[in-house]
Amino acid sequence: MKRIPKKFWEVVKARYERMPENLKLVIGGYGSLSKKEILEHLERKDEVGKFLVRMQLEFFKVLREEAESYEKAFNNKA
């Protein structure tokens, strides 16, 4: 994805706003990040911010695939 839609940035930011304060994230190569630093990267839409969006999108993709497989299994049974 070359250009990340504004909506995605907002969704990811909204999620990280709910992150517990004591939790820290290590992204190899980018070091250890607090909640405040994560939100700053997402605000700046920089390289780290883009990585966080990619990680979130991968998660959504897996959820969608899972939902589709359940739907398929359900339809086969019906």
> Residues in the site for another protein, rule: CB under 8 A?
15, 18-20, 22-32, 34, 51, 55-56, 58-59, 62
CA distances from 54 to 36, 51, 70, 75 (A): 19, 5, 24, 31
CB of 62 to another protein, least distance (A): 6
The torsion defined by the Cα of 39, 13, 44 and 62, in degrees rounded to 10, comes to 110
In the complex with another protein, the residue whose CB is nearer, 14 or 73, is 14
In the complex with another protein, the residue whose CB is nearer, 21 or 76, is 21
